[in-house]
Structure formats: C-alpha cells, structure tokens
Chain A
C-alpha cells in the first residue's frame, strides 16, 4: 500500500526548479544552521541512512563539483529552503494580484452566461479573487520560516504521530478543491519538532495548486530535512471534487497516498506500527 519513493523521481523535476538556488548561502547565515551543518561534518562517518536517501547538506557547500555525489544531490533541491513564489509580496503587489484575478473572474462570469450585474453577483469577482488568493497562501511562506526554531533536543526514542490533520487543497489540473486528512509520524533521532509546526508544514504545502502525490512527498521531505529523524511516514487520504463533481462522478471514492522514508521504508514492523497508530477513520 505504501508507495515506494524512488530516487528516480528526482529526474522529474521541472526545468524551472533546477534554476532555483537551493543551497543559497545567504539563507544559511543564522548561527544555528551553520553550527548544525558543522555538526554533520563531524559525524560524517555515522551519518544516518535517511540523509543519504535525501542529500547530505554538509558536502556540497564546501566542495566544488568534483564529488560524484553532487550531481545526484543537485537534482533534489532542499525543501526547507525552496523559495516561496509569493514571498516578496508587499501590500500593493498583493492588491495588484487581486485586481487582476478580479478582472478575470468578471470575464468568466460573463462567459458562463450569467448576468454579472445582478444583486447576488455584484461583488462576486472580488470575493472569488480573495478566496483564491487565500486558497493559495501556501506560496507566501518558506518552510524554514514556518519551522523557525521549534526544534528541540529530546531523548525521545519512540514514534511520534500527529494524525487526522484536516487539509484543504486545490487540484492543479482543474483548480477544484480536494480535501481530507493527513497523518504524519516520525522516529526522532535526538531531535523533535514542535507539534503545531507539523500541522503548519502540512498547511503551507496544502494551500497551493497541488497534486496529492507531490503534497505527500513534500511533507515527508520537509520534516526529514528539518530534524533528520530515523524515519518519516506520511499518509494522505482525500476526496477529490474534480472526480466527484465532474468527470467520473464517483461519489464515495477516496484517494490515499503515502510517503515512507528511512526506517519506515526498510522495516515493515515500524511501518505497520505507524499505519495502526495513524489510521485515518472514514470521514
């Protein structure tokens, strides 16, 4: 049932992503992150397999291209430091966006045959534009800002599961909502993440134009990068309005995707424990 994440999916990155400076040295000026990187260097011999699955932060900043691993690493950008598409929005830029979307919605209302001047539709373009900007507010934050410094050192060795987080996202193919629940679990490696930060990470990734598979993977990778646990597992179960309201019109079907990293991928018992603890009840 668990979808096996392969390293091959790094090859599917769209051309735009490669241009992003994902090891942006400007973002790693905070003392904590620099220190954290140096700590990794010192423990290079015992670096966790999880890191090898994703990337090794310490290598690429220092070395310059000769390492045979850096070609592999460059394919997978850092999720934590990914640039937020709307991060630089000032108030006036935001208002420009909303008025552009408002004008588009006016055109849409006319084209579907409605009368945009009737009482119920007078302010609809503006309301719909603001609603859409709200539904895509995940573009306004980077994960590093969301996580900030809610990373704590704890001697916790057992699984931490945050289950049944409600999510509401937009299908990127039809721009129609899909919604459901997410369960996240991880096995900490001396560091735990603030619980509400998990929910915030989920929120930032879901309030975008998304594909459920990518959403699952991004949540898992963000948590893996933030605290480098022994393993991360994410299950997402959603109802897709694009499938219920149109197209196939299958009213009762749900889509479940999962991402298993680290110990959860290798050890079936750990995976089974997560699936039991984090089971999403029918909703």
Chain B
C-alpha cells in the first residue's frame, strides 16, 4: 500500500504549470472558491492543507510566500481538458490522421492491408483509440457539475468495485481492473454516479496507475472537501501479461489515503475491509 506523501507535488510535469488553474473567466468557480474560503476558515479542516493551500486570491500579485507552493499544486477540478475544444470537424481530423498512421503500422508489421478483414481496420482502430482516450474531453468540474449535496452524513461512504479500463502510457496497451473509493463526508456528499464518472474521466486516458489513483483522490477531495478520501485500485496490466515479464496472474494494487485515512489507522482499516476488491478474471 503506497502512502501518498506531500513530496509528490514536486514531481509534477513541467507542462502542467501552463494550465490556467485560476481562470477568472469562470465566474462560478470564483464564487465557489470564495465560499469555501469563508466556510473553512474557522473549521479545522485539515484536508485543505493536504490538497492545496488556503486559496491564493487572484488579485495578489506574486509576493505571497505561498505562491511557489500554490503554483506546484494544480487544481484537479479546473485542470484544462486537452481535447475540450473539439468540434466535430477537429475530431474527424484527428481520426483521419490516426487512421493514416494505422495504415502505415499495418504495412510495417508485414500484413496485407488490402485483405478483406483489414480493409476498414485503420478507421476502426482510430475510432477505438479516440474512445479509449475520451477522458481528455471533459474537465472534472463539468463532470461533477452540481451534484454536491448538503447532508448530515457522518459515516463512511464507499463505492466499490468500479470497473476501469485504461491505457498504459508507456506501451499504449490496455490495463483494466477495479477501483474502490471511500470518503468521510464533512456535511457534503457527492452524487454516487459522479464518483464513478470521475473515475471514468481519469481512467480513459494514457495513464500510470499511481497517477490515476492520486488524481481520483484529489478530485474528490477538492470537490466536496471531506474529512478524508481513500482510493484503492487493483489492475491487471496487459503490458506485463502479454509481453515483457509475461506474468499471467499478477495484479498491481495502488492506493491513495488523504486526510483522516492517512492519520487514523482504524478508519483506514474500516475502508480496506468495506471496499475490498474481490479477485476477478
């Protein structure tokens, strides 16, 4: 079980700094951030400090000592979706380019692209690949939208056994498995299908299992600011089963524990038993 440390914020990829994470054009986000600021100011919500610092207002300009830290920790909710502005035309162009590349691939592996079974394969493979990476088309804030409800729920909420199918970013070969997500609400709960949608948006990308786990946990933490979030993912990696080490029965498990789940072993244990992933395949 891997424990998430604060050090991982330093391993961010350089390109993510270019994302506008406090985008002033989104009026809704400015409002909600102000609300969070006021609500959480007095309450001891240690979750906030683990995810991102107390929000640095947009109007301050650089001299704040926290800016360096804030810049490294990007908001997961407002991260720019890479393919967000796709019109149908752009999408068709993408599929066209990928089809052409697949034709070259078919020739290069020695096959005959003009035989009956392979005639439309480049197009089908391109559309399949675009589908497998459709997580790039949505931002989390759109997915979560307004399915955040005020509830007097104090006990753990666990959504377990969510199937995920993702692509390994190192070999572009699928990996698949199950996710269990749990959180301890702090007066706010998230719509249950939104938990599954968050998982879906992050998994339908070129992913590394560790990053996937962390992103799911951070998205839920940001969206509802609970007392704690826990995520466990168990996957079979085709890149390890079909090639390379060729270990048929091995699975990879990663986890992310934030807030109460990191500090209190009993909460962690309760989550691990409630959200246990039964053997599959």
Contacts and interface: CB of A to CB of B under 8 A. Distances in A.
Classify chain B: how many residues form its interface, as a range: 35 or more
Nearest to B13: A118
Nearest to B173: A131
Interface string A117-137: 111110110011001111110
A124 B102 contact: no
B113 to A, nearest CB: 10
Contact of B97 (A105, A107, A123): A107
A177 B238 contact: yes
B157 interface: no
A208 to B, nearest CB: 8
Contacts of A14: 115-117
Interface stretch (B36-44, B118-126, B187-195): B118-126
B236 to A, nearest CB: 10
A156 interface: no
Given A136-B109, A168-B241, A104 B102 contact: yes
A113 interface: yes
Given A100-B104, A105-B101, A173-B124, A166 B248 contact: yes
Given A104-B105, A124-B171, A246 B132 contact: yes
Contacts of A100: 104-105, 107-108
B130 interface: yes
Interface of B: 13-15, 82-83, 94, 97-98, 100-102, 104-112, 114-118, 120-121, 124-125, 128-133, 136, 163, 165, 169-174, 176, 206, 208, 238-239, 241-243, 248, 281
21 contacts: A97-B108, A101-B104, A108-B102, A111-B97, A112-B94, A115-B82, A120-B169, A124-B169, A127-B170, A127-B171, A135-B242, A136-B110, A172-B117, A173-B120, A173-B121, A175-B121, A176-B125, A179-B242, A241-B174, A245-B132, A283-B281
Interface of A: 14, 16, 85-86, 97, 100-101, 103-105, 107-108, 110-115, 117-121, 123-124, 127-128, 131-136, 139, 166, 168, 172-177, 179, 209, 211, 239, 241-242, 244-246, 251, 283
